[in-house]
Structure formats: C-alpha cells, structure tokens
Structure 1
Amino acid sequence: MAVVSLDFITGLPPTTSGHDAILVVIDKFSKMGYFIPTHTTARTEETAQLFVRHIISQHGIPTTLISDRDPKFTSKFWKELMSLLGTKLAMSSAYHPQIDGQTERLNQIVEQLLRAACKDEISKWDLHLPILEFAYNNATHAATGQTPFFLCYGRHPLTPQKPTTSATKIHNAFHVQLLKPYRDPNTIFVGHQPPPPPPVLVQNEPEYEVESVLAHRRRRHGAVEFLIRWKGYDPSEVSWVPESDM
C-alpha cells in the first residue's frame, strides 16, 4: 500500500462497546478497504495506534497518506509521527480526486452495508464490520474490474461451500464453460499500470492538473462549483470544486 487515504464516518449510534465512529482506510491502487471501529472522542494517539495495528502491521508504511483537515490529522503529534515514518501527508480540501470521490463513495457503501446488516441490532453494528469489510474486499470493483482482495494479494480468498444434497437437485460440479485457464500469479500484474503519482506540493499545498471542466452549478448559498476531470485520474474520480479553489 503506497498511497492510502483516511476518513471518518461519524454520527453513528453508540454500540454496547462504546464505538460511535468508523475509521475508513482505503488503498488507492487496489481499492482495499478497512473499516475500523472507533469513537469520536478518540485522541490522536489512539487513532495512530489503530493505524499501526490494522494497516502498518499488515502492509508496511505507506509513502503517502491522504486525509482531510480533521484536527487529528493536523496535530503536531500526527505530523511528527508521519515525518519519522517517512510518510508524506497530503491534507487539503482541494484533494478532490480521492477525498471527495474515492473515500466518500466508500463511506456511502459502508453506511449502506451497515443499514442492511444491522437494522435489528443497531447497538451491535461494530460486531458486523469484519464480515462487511470482507464482503466489500471480495466484490469486483467497477474501477479496476477486479476484487480489492485479488489486487492486494494476487489470489482470491477461500470461501466456505455448503455441501449439496440430493434434495436440492443441485450437483456439486461446474459446467465446462465456467472454467477458466490457469494463470501464473507471477504474470498477472505484468504491464499493469501503477496509480498516478501523488500531488506536487507547492507551498505545502497539494496541486493537481485539470484536464477539463465538465459542468458548473450554483449552490443554494450562491457559491459556484465546477465539475472537474483530473489529468491522469480515472473518469469515475471527477469531483465538484468550489470556484474559490480553482
């Protein structure tokens, strides 16, 4: 995981374990997602411990960390920690390709999964996060055409199969048309394009090149926004940008 983005889902009902928020982490290349239960009053040090326990321990230290300007991510402790780890911080509301697009879409998916899985156990939603995380990572992502799990590990996870019985009239066999040729895992990623490079920092602010302006709109408060397609990024990562950020 070279480029990773962070965001919080807040405003959730407290669970019996005291969680009322989720730290959402997503890898830009594979789209691998992690849904980590936490609470809105968690200190920066606690958030750092969660990041080390769930991300760094499994995938190593990322080269770039993308986030909004949440006080936890702008604190002196967080900045010094990332500096010691050699991780670049990209914190800006103008980082639209990831923060406003990729991470926000994943947040919406997590919220939809929670509503579907926990409608009868609202006080235990945190217990459902591991299986929801697995379900997301084992589903084909529209932007890559692969599952995040496969792009991250080069293989599909094992999933249990319920034994078939004669009563079901289903045979434990596959039709030949469903079979696919074997591919050596070492050749799967040959020629695969890496993600676009992180932004260029200009006066400590990330900057990106605009490929085209697709549309514009005026908000209720009068502010004008433009729909931007970013050069080098997937068309699905277009985002609305305030006129003041242009």
Structure 2
Amino acid sequence: MDFIYGLPIFDGFSSIVIVVDRFSKYETFISASKVYPFEQAARLFLKYMVKYWGVQNIIISDRDTKFAGRFCNELFKLMRGVKQPIRVHLRMLPVEAACTKCDCDRAGKRTKKWEDRKHGDVNFKVNDAVLAKLSGILHNPYHKGLVLIYEGSFKVLKWVGIMAYRLEFPSTIQAHPMFHLSLLKLYHQDEEKLDRGKSHQEPIGVKASYNKEVEVIHAERSIHRVGQWPRHEYLVQWKGHP
C-alpha cells in the first residue's frame, strides 16, 4: 500500500491510494481528496479492498510503524462495527466467486475439447451391422486381455428411445438385446476378403449346446481342489453311439 499526493486537482481529487496484491499483481487505485490520516485511510481500505477481497493477512506500507499500528487498529475497529468476519465465513467474496466461475468454465471447456475428439454424433439405422461390447455385461471366466472388446457383427432391429438399440442375437448368446449407444460400434466388412477381421473364438456368454442326445448317465464324480470350486464330471452314454 502506497500514497501519492500533490497531484493536480481533478474532480476534487489530488491524491491516490495504491494497493497492489503481492501474488496476482492486481492493482487498485483509490482516489482521495488529500493526504488522509490513518482513520480516513482505514475507511477507504475497508470500502474498496476488504469489501471485495476480504481481510488481508499482511499489509505492507512505506509509512512508519506508528502509522501502520494506528491504521490496523482503526481498520479492525471498523470491521467489528460491520461484523465483517461473520460475513466472510457465511458467504463467498465476489472476487472468489468470479475466480471460481472462471476456473470452472475453463475446466469445462478443456474437458469438452478432449471429449469431442474421441466421441461424435453416431446414429445407426435398422439392419445395420454393428459390434457390441459384451465384456462388461456378461460374466467372463477368462482374463480380460484374452477376450475381444467388441463381439459381432449383429443386426440392428429397432431404435429404442434416444440412446438405445435392440440387436438380433443368436439363440446361443444369453444376453439382453438392448444396448446403449456407447456400447456399439459400426461394423465395416472387408469386401475383398470376407473372413478378415472375424474371430473364430466363441463370444462370451454363449451357453453350452450339444449336437448329441444323452441316453443314460452311468457315473458321476466331483473333483475338489484347494481354493477352487468343485468340478463335476459325468460318464455319459450318447444315443446312437457305442
């Protein structure tokens, strides 16, 4: 905080009280009619600084220690009169609200910028071939590194609501056919080599099916191992086979 006096009179003011924030270097110039004693300087400081910036922890001035002590005593006396400490704890200062809003807006724009790079407006039509992400929906006994992220392709049967689609699943896949848009991806088939990109591994969630019919079960046993679920084995006689 500094004082400049002896300036040409303009609009009845001939002095300036300068207050500079030590960290942000934000400057505040307060017009004054003359060189104010500590009482008037404290009133100006309360009106133009404490009102918008709150109570400062450290105030540095070029005046002597007597002026600084009297200035601080007068400032705290005025603050007790307006109950400034209570208002500081009950609400946010205007400058804090403005800075917080700017930071939130900046963070939101930055997040939107990076999100838009990876996502766009994607809409599927009926009978389109899509890939579905089944790894996060169905139970998978294998490690996630050994399982395909997207399975398919599947045909789109219906557009449900705004962000969901109904797919046509074969009878061997035990999964609900409704999928959110974020779990689908358009399937691009290679026209020259139709088998390129197709996986020969069965999708997760496929229920066991046999092309033989059981005639009789001769024996059954359970294998128990430490730390594992018991495994059941059956001795089966297939119909039409020895």
Q: Fold conserved (TM > 0.5)?
A: no
Identify, as 1 or 2, the structure richer in helix. 1
Q: Which has the higher contact order (CA 8 A, sep 6+)?
A: 1
TM-score when normalising by structure 1: 0.31
